[in-house]
Structure 1
Amino acid sequence: MSKNDFIKRLTAMVTKEFRQLVRDNSSILIGIFLPILLIFIIGYGVSLDVKRVPIAVVLEDTSPTTYDVLSFLNGSEYFSPTYVTSMHEAEKMIDGRNVEAIIRIPSDFSESLYRQESSIQLILYGVDSSTATIVKGYIEGSIKQWEALNKSKFINDSAVGNVTVENRMWFNDANSSIWYFIPGLIVLIITIVGVFLTSLVMAREWERGTLESLFVSPVKPLEILLSKMVPYFSVAMIGFIFCLIAARFLYKVPIYGSLIIIILCSMLYLFVTLGMGLTISSITKNQFLASQLALLVSFLPAMMLTGFLFDLRSIPAFIRNIGQILPATYYLELLKSLFLAGNNWHLIYKNCLILFFYAIFFISLALKVTKKSLE
């Protein structure tokens, strides 16, 4: 009888929450339309790939060899070259930020190739150091490739330079930062939706006093929490499915791992975020405070300390240890591996187990805090 009463009360509460959710446009916007908006804006707007870089090319040597060396600039999606005749003109262009780099070919370049003393001057706009580093890598790599292919024309000893290096990006054959960003973007979206939805909605009910009417009813704290989680879990999963479709068909990100495992581990992480949101709302009981706290403990750490933007191995050990505490770190590692590498069962078992314990912890903490609030 007690079990039947629990099911009846929970069903009634969940039904009530679904009806309230349908009437609440803000929750639909956060749960479904915000993920779609973010996947479009960030997916298209954030990229580590530098393309159509304006470059000034100073040709003091106009021999066919020079044009052959610089042939990688023509028709490339990465460069937009402007050929000038003097260094003074090129310096004016880089001073005015009209170009990001200058390539200067000295007048004796072709002759120096046969003496193995040739050099090309590369000047980079160093204010934007990240772009300058990427452009430097592109240009140096292209020139080295030409040198490897044409070395036999300028070196008489055929025994020299027989070894060439063939580069390949393992697990990212397209060498595209979009493939790297999209799994991390999904982590951010689920974090935002899961934590913000439950924290704001629950805090709003604390502010309005609608929860007080439940205090005198037979409804238990566990039933209140479950009734809040079920509708917003459903909404967040709809947003996740949209993100998954966009990743595969819009951005062409491959999915080498099991789609079922991706969905299951995402559901598990969503329980973690919902538990965090419920805990925050029960502690603050205020929408403004709940939103600020949710931002500080979920979104910002998930973006900065999980490996989404920075390699955790390159940051101080203290900060790296903080990143290892965050559940988003393990979900991000899971998604990247499942999308780009396939089913690595060691990572799947390890990270899913960690996320499971986080889910139990945060839901139990939310239940404890809610019970204390009711008392």
Structure 2
Amino acid sequence: MNGAALRRVRGLMRKEALQILRDPSALAIAFLLPAILLWLFGYGVTLDARRVPLGIVVEQPGALAASFAAGFDRSRYFEPHRYLTGQAAERAMAARKVDGIVWLRADFGRQARGSAGAPIGVIIDGVDANTARLVEGYVQQVWAGWVAAEAARQGVRDPLPLDVRPRVRFNPSVNSRHYLIPGLIALIMTLTGALLTALVIAREWERGTMEALMVTPVALREILIAKLVPYFVLGMGGMLGSVAIAVFLFGVPLHGSIVVLSACAALFMLATLGMGLVISTVARNQFVAGQIALITTFLPAFILSGFVFDLHSTPGFVQAISHVVAARYFVAILQSVFLAGDVWAVILPNAAALVVLAAIFLGLARALARKRLD
């Protein structure tokens, strides 16, 4: 941009910033609503889990080990994945491919027949606190059922002496707040980015100021940039405020880098701003634009992002639809950065998906925008 273009953009940005400051609803959505939502969702939500991906490690195959592992194949609660070593299973859990690990040591068969008991390693991903509790309970159910079946098969009254030692990774306290609140930040940023931005151009049409903009020498790209930047700053400010509330008020641990979190939040904000601009260029009425934004951005972000509902338990076509929801990728990043740290196997592919979605929505907004009255 040349000097004249920069001055025009600065002037338009100042105009947009003044409109934001004079609009109490925009400020409430950006700063008051996050605090309310964080307070409401600070309490646990209990949901049943189905087809939970579970890693099974059998160091030394044997009849007893095979019989025990087969119990997870028959369970409707688990989708077992076999791994040769515990290290491979732990890498899979860090990459969010499995939600737990059942680890049978090499001497499982021998110790199961002894009086001291055979140790069974159970490692649970505690990022989703609710699912972690359910997985622990389901594993114990499979174990109890197998012990009773083996005792009956061998014709003995006392069950086999097994020693189950569960451990919870990433969320040792199994606190549901630590799982829900990071995901809620994505929901808040969707409201700030998509809903508010969906109204900006529609508001210009309703107030009759769009015609005045069209007769000025301002280029269309300058108008779009001036609309984007103030709401980008507003959304990032709301994100930082939400992170502060999560860490200092609710005690959610932030194990990853705030720089990585901010960079990924910026990508997500660009994607949501692009969605909002697409809606705003299509709908010239604020009420219609707001309804479209709620249906196409907020509800999918709530239902199809993995924020509350476990996507592994949904049908395949629902999981396929969720891949076009930007919040799905940002929720995965948030939960990993907060509870597990900078796990690049999670961050990089999800950040790449956000880059693609941001480019698509911003490009679509530019293609649909026209500097004319028709």
**Shared fold (TM-score, shorter chain, > 0.5):** yes
CA contact (8 A) 2:301 2:328 kept: yes
- Assess, with a 3 A threshold, how the Cα gap between structure 1 residues 289 and 29 changes in structure 2: closer, same or farther: same
- Partner residue in 1 for 2:261: 262
TM-score (norm 2): 0.68
How far is the alpha carbon of 1:276 from its aligned partner? 0.8
Alignment of 1:297-308 (within 5 A): 297-308=296-307
Q: For 2:259 and 2:335, how far apart are their aligned partners in 1? A: 15
Q: For 2:323 and 2:282, how far apart are their aligned partners in 1? A: 25
Q: For 1:272 and 1:232, how far apart are their aligned partners in 2? A: 12
- Partner residue in 2 for 1:219: 218
Alignment of 1:92-241 (within 5 A): 161-241=160-240
How far is the alpha carbon of 1:346 from its aligned partner? 2.5
- Assess, with a 3 A threshold, how the Cα gap between structure 1 residues 373 and 345 changes in structure 2: closer, same or farther: farther
Give the match's secondary structure for 1:371: coil
Q: Which amino acid aligns with 1:226?
A: I
- Partner residue in 1 for 2:289: 290
Residue 39 (structure 2) pairs with residue 47 (structure 1): no
- Paired positions, count: 278
How far is the alpha carbon of 1:231 from its aligned partner? 1.1
- Partner residue in 1 for 2:350: 351
How far is the alpha carbon of 1:41 from its aligned partner? 2.0
Q: Which amino acid aligns with 1:182?
A: I
CA contact (8 A) 2:214 2:372 kept: no
Residue 24 (structure 2) pairs with residue 11 (structure 1): no
- Assess, with a 3 A threshold, how the Cα gap between structure 1 residues 141 and 348 changes in structure 2: closer, same or farther: closer
Alignment of 1:307-346 (within 5 A): 307-346=306-345
How far is the alpha carbon of 1:344 from its aligned partner? 1.3
How far is the alpha carbon of 1:162 from its aligned partner? 4.1
1:291-327 deviation per Cα after TM superposition (whole angstroms, max 9, x unaligned): 1110111111111112122221221111110011211
Q: For 1:333 and 1:25, how far apart are their aligned partners in 2? A: 32
CA contact (8 A) 1:47 1:178 kept: no
Q: For 1:373 and 1:167, how far apart are their aligned partners in 2? A: 65
TM-score (norm 1): 0.68
Query: Percent same amino acid among aligned pairs?
Result: 40
Q: For 2:276 and 2:231, how far apart are their aligned partners in 1? A: 11
Residue 17 (structure 2) pairs with residue 22 (structure 1): no
Q: For 1:12 and 1:201, how far apart are their aligned partners in 2? A: 16
How far is the alpha carbon of 1:373 from its aligned partner? 5.4
Give the match's secondary structure for 1:245: helix
Give the match's secondary structure for 2:2: helix
How far is the alpha carbon of 1:161 from its aligned partner? 4.8
Q: For 1:329 and 1:372, how far apart are their aligned partners in 2? A: 34
1:192-217 deviation per Cα after TM superposition (whole angstroms, max 9, x unaligned): 11111111232122111111100010
Q: For 1:21 and 1:253, how far apart are their aligned partners in 2? A: 31
1:316-373 deviation per Cα after TM superposition (whole angstroms, max 9, x unaligned): 1111100112111111111111111111112222111211121121111111211265
1:11-47 deviation per Cα after TM superposition (whole angstroms, max 9, x unaligned): 1111121122212222111111111221122224x53
- Partner residue in 2 for 1:68: none
- Partner residue in 1 for 2:30: 31
CA contact (8 A) 1:196 1:277 kept: yes
Q: For 2:6 and 2:24, how far apart are their aligned partners in 1? A: 28
Q: Which runs of 5+ in 2 are unaligned?
A: 48-129, 145-155
CA contact (8 A) 1:262 1:338 kept: yes
- Partner residue in 2 for 1:366: 365
Give the match's secondary structure for 1:307: coil
- Partner residue in 1 for 2:252: 253
Q: Which runs of 5+ in 1 are unaligned?
A: 50-130, 146-156
Q: For 1:206 and 1:29, how far apart are their aligned partners in 2? A: 23
Q: For 1:12 and 1:374, how far apart are their aligned partners in 2? A: 23
1:35-70 deviation per Cα after TM superposition (whole angstroms, max 9, x unaligned): 1221122224x5339xxxxxxxxxxxxxxxxxxxxx
Q: Which amino acid aligns with 1:165?
A: V
Q: For 1:347 and 1:371, how far apart are their aligned partners in 2? A: 39
Q: Which amino acid aligns with 1:266?
A: A
Q: Which amino acid aligns with 1:34?
A: L
Q: For 1:186 and 1:239, how far apart are their aligned partners in 2? A: 9
CA contact (8 A) 2:206 2:285 kept: yes
Q: For 1:252 and 1:199, how far apart are their aligned partners in 2? A: 34
Q: Which amino acid aligns with 1:272?
A: A
Give the match's secondary structure for 2:168: coil
Give the match's secondary structure for 1:164: strand
- Partner residue in 2 for 1:63: none
Q: Which amino acid aligns with 2:46?
A: L
Give the match's secondary structure for 1:43: coil
Q: Which amino acid aligns with 2:288?
A: L
Alignment of 1:65-76 (within 5 A): none
How far is the alpha carbon of 1:374 from its aligned partner? 5.3
